[in-house]
Amino acid sequence: MTVEVRDATADDAEELIRLDSGIVASLGGDADGEWRERAVASLRESLAAGRVIGAVTDVDGVTVSGAMATVWTTIPGPGHDGRRAWVFGVATDPEHRRQGHARAALGRVLDRLDAAGIAKIDLSATPEGEALYRSLGFVVSPFARMVRRPPGL
């Protein structure tokens, strides 16, 4: 078995969205909805432009895990210069879970963020991912995460 962890490119957008749709399904969402085509196009463009960085883990040439982060700039605050990142889409195919593939992909993303000097990195954790994130230095924020959505969503 050959395992390779590599930076994601625009060509990986479809596989990253396929993996991400498993998270959507686990949260009760429509994993196969019309959103996927738009998401692939948007992610392809964002990866190419550097607004999203990602990494994938391939086993024998097949992508089985991935992780991404959106990078943006806001005003500076305590402990950061205004550059921030939001980690998302950390997912692994079910048959490849608990083998370190998500840790490897996310570790590569975090290494890239660290190398870029991005000190403030946030994410939302599912119960399944919480132990992984804690082991990589994430802590529960004292601030509640809240979401506002249009009516009907």
Predicted pLDDT of residue 31: 60
CB contact set of 106 (below 8 Å; sequence gap of 6+): 55, 67, 87, 90, 132, 136
* Residues 93, 64 contacting (CB under 8 angstroms): yes
Number of residues written out for the chain: 153
Question: For residue 107, with 0-12 CB atoms within 10 Å meaning exposed, 13-18 middle and 19 or more buried, which class applies?
Answer: middle
pLDDT averaged per 10 residues in sequence order, the chain, 153 residues: 96 94 66 81 96 97 96 91 95 93 98 95 90 94 83 69
Number of H helices, E strands in the chain: 4, 5
The whole model's pTM is what?
0.89
- Each residue's pLDDT tens digit, 100-124: 999 999 999 999 999 999 999 999 9
User: What letter would DSSP give residue 144?
Assistant: P
Q: Which among 37, 33, 43 is positioned nearest to 66, based on CA atoms?
A: 43
Q: Cα–Cα distance between 79 and 135 in angstroms, integer?
A: 21
Which tokens in the block code for residue 17? 């969205």
Predicted pLDDT of residue 90: 95
Domains of the chain: 3-8+51-135 (3.40.630.30)
Predicted pLDDT of residue 34: 79
